[in-house]
Chain A
Amino acid sequence: MSFLMTLTVGLTALTLSGDHHGPPALSDAEIAHIAVTANQLDVEAARQALDRSADDRVRDFARTMIRDHEAVIAQAAALAGRLGVEPADNEVSRSLVDDARSAREGLARLSGREFDRAYMANEVAYHQAVITAVRDTLVPATRNAELRQLLEAVLPALEGHLTHARQLADALGGEPS
């Protein structure tokens, strides 16, 4: 079970840090890197779902994750280029990547309905953690107004993904294995 939550550990730690000690000392370049990394990791998770799931609903959800997160990455990259900001690797991004690798390895041991349920449970937890981190930590810590607007603008899409993930997780949970 532990792999299900590992993907959210880095983001949760980021949020808790913000709660107890004020916003972590992140530069805009580091925030941009965290945002792009978080989107890329959900794209990779979706590609794994397309490789392993035969459920049309799960596959449609995964395609939407790829389509939407790749669009956000493209706009974040365009904005960074326009601002002359080079996204900077940092401890939070590295933690997210490590956690995602663990989650992928855990999911790779599953198949069929067990995989579908675990993937969707992970998507619910991941989107919850990302929404909290973006809203409560990354947006307040961002100095550049355009980058802050981009982070704020992505929240409705993340909330839509969370709603969709919950609906699908609930539906799969109520079906026989």
Chain B
Amino acid sequence: MTRLETGAAVLAATGIPLLVACSGGSRPEAPRRHVVEIRAMAFEPKTIEIRPGDTVVWVNRDLVPHTATATDAAWTSPELGPGDEWATAAIAEGAQDYLCAYHSDMRGSVEVVPGGGS
């Protein structure tokens, strides 16, 4: 038995290969939390990619109130004053554009992609 074969036999005997196989992608990853900061009249980052079930948190670091509102009206934050934040995990799969209802030039996008996540 070569040295390599010996190592493989040991691994098989200890069950380590089985553990490696189990962690190889079949187990779903835990939902993640993505933060979008609102600064200087802009969403940062402007575009994010997430997986279904992930949470997006908008945090207002600006001086004036804003909202994060889906352009198709599927969801909206309440008014976010300076320092306020709002989170949702209820964003449908696909690309979802959103804006600030008070400042319509402020726009962003959330792309919900199975297996994605930036």
Contacts and interface: CB of A to CB of B under 8 A. Distances in A.
B73 to A, nearest CB: 17
From DSSP, what is the main secondary structure of chain B's interface residues? Answer: loop
A71 interface: yes
Contact of B82 (A64, A75, A160, A164): A75
Interface residues of B, number: 13
A153 to B, nearest CB: 5
A64 B41 CA distance: 13
From DSSP, what is the main secondary structure of chain A's interface residues? Answer: helix
Contacts of A75: 63, 82
Contact of B64 (A150, A157, A163): A157
Given A153-B40, A156-B41, A160-B41, A71 B65 contact: yes
A156 B43 CA distance: 13
A51 to B, nearest CB: 21
Interface of B: 40-42, 62-65, 81-82, 102-103, 105-106
13 contacts: A64-B102, A68-B64, A71-B63, A71-B81, A71-B82, A150-B63, A153-B62, A156-B40, A156-B62, A157-B41, A159-B41, A160-B105, A164-B103
